């Protein structure tokens, strides 16, 4: 639903830098699966319902990819920031009741 190139642009990584491509691709898979689970849709159902993957859903996926890429450990000691409100706000627009 999001491409490696889209994720790399979001992460501000040059497209020709392939060092983390396998890792970023795995983060994309995690983000896509998580968003679909949150919405209670399959990818096909989401596209059938809206004609394409809605931009807010893609943005939520990119937020998740960025967060997982930047924070590779389960605990961060610098400062606590919660992305869940942005993520939840974007996805709840499309969540199946």
User: Nearest to residue 53, comparing CAs of 8, 26, 93, 25?
Assistant: 93
Supply the mean pLDDT for the chain.
Answer: 90
Per-residue pLDDT at 94 exceeds 80: yes
User: Which backbone phi and psi does 28 adopt, to 5 degrees?
Assistant: -60, -45
Q: What is the per-residue pLDDT for 97?
A: 74
Q: What is the pTM of this model?
A: 0.84
Q: What is the per-residue pLDDT for 46?
A: 96
pLDDT per residue over 52-67, tens digit each? 999 999 999 999 999 9
Q: Is residue 10 part of a domain?
A: yes
pLDDT per residue over 18-45, tens digit each? 999 999 999 999 999 999 999 999 999 9
Q: Is residue 25 part of a domain?
A: yes
Report the domain count for the chain. Answer: 1
Q: In angstroms, rounded to a whole number, what is the distance separating the alpha carbons of residues 42 and 23?
A: 23
Q: Is residue 97 part of a domain?
A: no
The residue that leads in pLDDT, 46 or 90, is: 46
Within a 10 A sphere around the Cβ of 52, how many other Cβ atoms?
10
Domain carrying residue 69: 4-92
């Amino acid at each position: 639903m999001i491409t490696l190139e889209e994720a790399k642009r979001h992460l501000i990584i040059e497209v020709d830098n392939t060092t983390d491509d396998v890792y970023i691709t795995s983060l994309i898979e995690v983000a896509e699966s998580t968003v679909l689970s949150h919405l209670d849709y399959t990818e096909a159902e989401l596209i059938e319902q809206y004609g394409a993957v809605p931009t807010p859903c893609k943005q939520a996926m990119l937020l998740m990819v960025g967060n997982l890429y930047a924070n590779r450990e389960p605990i961060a000691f610098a400062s606590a920031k919660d992305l869940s409100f942005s993520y939840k706000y974007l996805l709840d627009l499309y969540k199946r009741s």
